[in-house]
Structures are given as structure tokens and as C-alpha cells.
Structure 1
């Protein structure tokens, strides 16, 4: 398309046809599904997706690329920063749950994931190309070096599966990191979990991850009179997601209880 990748948009265009075929096969789009692609770029995935689903919504910030994409009448082009897009409204307009896909800009991949988190109930699944290191953190188990705030905040709402690794040479221009494709399927919402409170607790817990929780989360809990029997003689990365959720529910019930 004669387009030069723009560094400020974090553009690295997928160019390996075998990788593209593998990703599209993993997505397995079908006609009638409400498919949304973030960052279609030069359309490497867009065209094979269209061949299977017939119609597609794409979100593209680069106005030159957006203009070229509009030439295809099968595309509903949203020219915007993805962090400003109302995905709940897209789902409402589509009349069903969204399937969200894309080769995400690596410089804002985590903000995009957190932007989508509040609308997980409006999403069927998400399949993204991300930096391999980020995917490892998303899917990490407690006790490992990759397990952290991102792991907890995503795993409480999604089943996360790393599908395939993608080398730098699959892109033009090649990024300086390895990439991976991840599938995220929303889980049923856990009753009694305040997402904002969970976010606050997890942020405090991992603020000094080398220290025992009694030095960080323990002080936070004590200030709220909610220390209880939560084991604070551990580090944040040793606590399973379920225990963070149970702590949030307990604090919420303690706060709501009559004094």
C-alpha cells in the first residue's frame, strides 16, 4: 500500500502469510459474528478475516490507513484512538457479544487490555498479538517471576491461553522483541468482587514485590481495620487469584456490615 510504518503509532505490520493463516484459523470467524479488529494496519489479517465473516469493524488511528480501509464497503472503519472507543456501544449496535482481535501496538498493549476489562461481559473472546513477555505475564501462575498485577487483574475475568510464538522477522519492520498470540475468554463474573477495590489491593500488594505483604498490604488492611486472617507472611506473587478475590469480598462485606 506504499505506507511507511510510523514509530509514534508503534506500527509493525504482520507480513508472514503462514503466521497470518495460523492466527485466522485460531480465530475461526464465521458469518454474522460481531468481529472487531484493533489496528488493522495494511490489512494483512483484515482481508482473510473478511473472506470468512463477510463484514468487519476495524479501529484505526492512522488517518491515512483509515482512508484506504474505507475503500472496502465491507468494513466499518472507526478512526480513533482505541483507548477512547466505547466497546459497550459497539456491542449494543451489533446486537450481540463482540469478538475482538488484533495486532496491538506494543507501547500501549496493557492500557488496551485494561480498557477492555470493564466490558468483558459484552465480549465472546479476544485474540491478540502481543509482546511475548506480556503474554507470559498475563498467563503466569503464582510463584513465578512473571506473576504480577497484570496476571491477577486479567485472570480473575479471563481464561488466558498462549496460542503461538511469532518471531520478529514475521513483521515489517521487525520489532526488537519476540511476539506471541494469546486468546482471552471471559469467565463468569465472580459475585461480590468490586473491580476497583481489587485493583487497589493488587496495586498495593505488588508495590514492593520483594517484601512480605505485612510491609505493604498489611499496613493497608490495618488502616481499614480489615486485617483478619489473611496470611501476610508471603510475597504478593505467592498469592493465588482466588485468594485476592476472597479478600476483596471479605473487605466489602466488612465495610457494608452495620457498626
Structure 2
């Protein structure tokens, strides 16, 4: 048994350090060690990998990650109460756990963890999407991302063309990575329980994504899905000569954004960027 297994139960840590979850920080603590262990295992083989965790809270998932084969864990935490509460876990980890106090939106993963690196996290729901977009921009820097989202967000991430859930987030995510929903967790598993189920989703970097610039993909998907009920010839007008762009990409002017596959958006992004050169 490791020193980590000798630590007090998570509920005792929460009571001792008065770690009531703060809504402003998007905190929902996962205390079931069977579930945190399942999340850590779902990240796959972590041998030799430095794992980045966002928002460790009282350290439930952190403990599971330290009990894996990960070379080290770097946890980014904004709440100073949790930094103090995790001191015993840092000591028990014997050099394998480093805490960084700060806002994950402002932390450069490449600067805090050597390659190979992966992110495994129960993300604060209020910043989950902007964090994901930032990581997708540099997805090639990670072995994988194994992240927890509200179920409705996870549904959008993996949605296919033609479905109501298919949107900007679906296109950007599936363009840069293979998106694999793994399993759901009920609201009652968390403290406090959120209003919706959660889903663990894994992102594996695509070795050869459709060629396109990230900013261009953001621009064309924003235009297309910003008016998703309109046909492409209308929704893409803000980009310039929409009819010419659509024709060049072999799309149909009367299609709607939700009907266009990822490859179609990549073609639009390339054509739009070329038209601005």
C-alpha cells in the first residue's frame, strides 16, 4: 500500500479545510474513489507521461493519477484553500506531484510539463469549453486529453452532421482529434450534485487533420453556425463572396451548416483564407 492510500478520506479533508464547493469557480467535487480510479484508468497507459490535472479540488482524481504509472502529476488549482488542503498529498507523493496555483486559462501546458504529456481532468464547468479550444489549437503537444464535461457539452463534441447537437464545437474538436465519449457519471456522484449528468470524453490527436488554419476554421464555423437555420449562401455572406466560396468547395448553396461535414468546413476555411491573401 502506498502512502497515498494512508491519507484521510476526502470528506474528512473537505471538513478539515472547509472546502465547500464554490459555484463561482465551477466546483463540483468527485469523491467516489472507484470513479476517480476509473477515470485515471480510462486515460490509458500513462507510463513515462507527465499528467496535467486542472482543478484538483480535495484531490480525489489526483490520488488516482498518482496511483497510476504516470511519471508525475502537475495540478493547476485556482482556489488557495485547495492548495493548502493538498499539502499532505504532495508529501505522500514523494516528488511526483507539483501544485501550481493559478488560472488554468493563463497557464501554458508546455511550460509546466515535459513531453510526453497528457491532460486528465474533471474540468470546472464554467471554463471547460475555452480550455478545450485552447488545447485543441496545440493538440499535437499532447498524448491525449481525457476530460469530464456536462453531458450536453459532451453530446455536442461527438455529434455527427445532420444532428441538432452538431455545431462549431463538434467541427473544431473532430477536425483536430478523434473524439471518444467513454462513460457517463450521474449527478449524485458529485458534491454538490450538478443539474445534469457528466460524461468523460477522450481526445486523441489526429495524425493528419484536414489542412486549414485554426483562425480560419473558427471564422467560417462562427459565420455558418451563427445563423444555423439559414442556408449557407446567406449565413456565409459575412465572409465575402459566399456563392463563390461555396462553389469552389463543392458544397450546395441551399445546405445548412449542420449538414456540412468537417472536411467541408476545412475546404471553406482554405478557400476563405486564400481569398484574403
Task: Give the structure-1-normalised TM-score.
Answer: 0.91
Q: Aligned partners of 2:268, 2:128: CA distance in 1, in Å? A: 28
Matches within 5 A, 1:61-100: 61-71=78-88, 72-73=90-91, 74-91=96-113, 94=114, 96-100=115-119
Confirm or deny: 8 A CA contact 1:192 1:252 kept in the other structure. no
1:159-193 per-position Cα deviation (integer Å, ceiling 9, x unaligned): 00110010001111111111111001111253641
Residue 241 of structure 2 corresponds to: 222
**SS of corresponding position for 1:233:** coil
Residue 232 of structure 1 corresponds to: 253
Counterpart of 2:72 (choices 44, 50, 55) is 55
Confirm or deny: 8 A CA contact 2:66 2:72 kept in the other structure. yes
Q: 1:29 to 1:66 in 2, by over 3 A?
A: farther
1:110 lines up with 2:129 in the alignment = yes
Counterpart of 2:193 (choices 149, 174, 177) is 174
Confirm or deny: 8 A CA contact 1:160 1:183 kept in the other structure. yes
1:20 positional shift: 1.9
**SS of corresponding position for 1:127:** strand
1:4 lines up with 2:20 in the alignment = yes
Confirm or deny: 8 A CA contact 1:221 1:227 kept in the other structure. no
1:145 positional shift: 0.4
1:128 lines up with 2:144 in the alignment = no
Q: How many residues align?
A: 253
Task: Indicate the RMSD between aligned Cα atoms, in angstroms.
Answer: 1.9
**Structure 1 alignment gaps of length 5 or more:** none
Confirm or deny: 8 A CA contact 2:140 2:205 kept in the other structure. yes
Further displaced range: 50-59 or 67-76: 67-76
Matches within 5 A, 1:152-171: 152-171=171-190
**Structure 2 alignment gaps of length 5 or more:** 1-12
1:4 positional shift: 1.2
1:87 positional shift: 1.5
Further displaced range: 41-50 or 244-253: 244-253
Counterpart of 2:225 (choices 187, 203, 206) is 206
1:4-45 per-position Cα deviation (integer Å, ceiling 9, x unaligned): 111111111002233223212212353421111111111111
1:107 positional shift: 1.4
Residue 44 of structure 1 corresponds to: 60
Counterpart of 1:193 (choices 207, 212, 231) is 212
Confirm or deny: 8 A CA contact 1:41 1:65 kept in the other structure. yes
Residue 40 of structure 2 corresponds to: 24
Q: Aligned partners of 1:70, 1:115: CA distance in 2, in Å? A: 29
Counterpart of 1:247 (choices 268, 271, 277) is 268
Q: Aligned partners of 1:236, 1:139: CA distance in 2, in Å? A: 16
1:223 positional shift: 6.8
Q: Aligned partners of 1:13, 1:7: CA distance in 2, in Å? A: 11
Q: Which runs of 4+ in 1 moved over 6 A?
A: none
